[in-house]
Structure 1
Amino acid sequence: MGSGGRYEAYEVDLWGRLAALLPSAEDSENFRDCRETGQQEAGLWILLQRLLEHRVPISDRTRAEIEMLAEQWGERLARHDEIIACVRDSDEEGSIRLLPDDRSTPVDPAQAGMRDSILTGLLVVPWLECLRCARVLARVHAQEPWGDLRYLASHYVVWHHTAPDDEHEIFDDHDLHSAFELLLSCE
């Protein structure tokens, strides 16, 4: 199965797991229907509103997966605060987590030990972290003339942020799932 087929299977499974978190059968059905009808953005809104309203606890990994899904559908900025506001499942053993905003400061790739010419002039924003191997999945953004980061990432990179000169792997903007798979590969 190619990476597109793997991603499709993963996304179907993820939407099913997320639907199971919702407090009512009607909410679950509405959430799944959004994916089936190509309204993923509305589905993410429904999911987060219900998780927050009903204070449904979610694991750090689920929070990271929702954030990744929101990124995939162009909703990360709109949904980020809601995602981090979800109640944390205190029984969960952490394997992957969304980095706190204070650890997600954009850095020059050269400062992070990445000297690839494809990253020149861009900024690396640490984003998701594997707690087992300390690898980080980062978004790579261009900077707008007025100083803000461009809305959509131009690349993704996975690297050991604690050992910046270590190897890293760069993924194109359309290959977020492969970057996420690599982050999870130590499990």
Structure 2
Amino acid sequence: MTVDRRRARELAQRRSLIISTARSLAESEGWDAVTTRRLADIIEYSQPVLYKHFDGKNDIVRAVAIEGFTELAAVLHEAGKAATTPVTAVRALAESYIGFATANPRLYEPMFSMPVGLAFAQPDSPQPLVDSFTELRAVVDVVADGRYVDTLSELIWGTLHGLVVLGQSGRLRPDYAEERLAQFVEQMTCPARS
């Protein structure tokens, strides 16, 4: 192995360690606990080493969010594969999305709630963001029935996000989660009306 290849591998491993440590720290103590000083102490590197990989905390959190979108794309892909009808497709999509957010609340925060400078639907959007929307759109395409699939996909994504955020903040009645899901699926799978 050449020196350059080994160095590149070591840099990638160090970058990955910083991201996974930030994510682990956020999961156990919240994002306020994630600082470059704290990360440097935990992984036993100096802060300048962290700054060789990231511009600062916001850049690290952004990298965690991008990793989260990679995971979300995989979850949505599996949901799409499991569906056999439009109704089961939308239900699987909704359950998978809400399940992902519920299982990973600290990861979901930088993906959607924290200002980390990630923009969707832009020429320079990171590929994991594009992949997440593409997977969601693939399921929605099955039920679009003459409706504009990109707009319907955004509507479905926005609705699912709203259900997640309102549910996590305790602003929805927990005993009605199944009823909300059933009504959501019914509304999203009904044919377009004139």
The alignment's TM-score, normalised by the length of structure 2, stands at: 0.28
Larger radius of gyration: 2
Which structure has greater strand proportion?
1
Q: Which has the higher contact order (CA 8 A, sep 6+)?
A: 2
Which structure has greater helix proportion?
2
The alignment's TM-score, normalised by the length of structure 1, stands at: 0.28
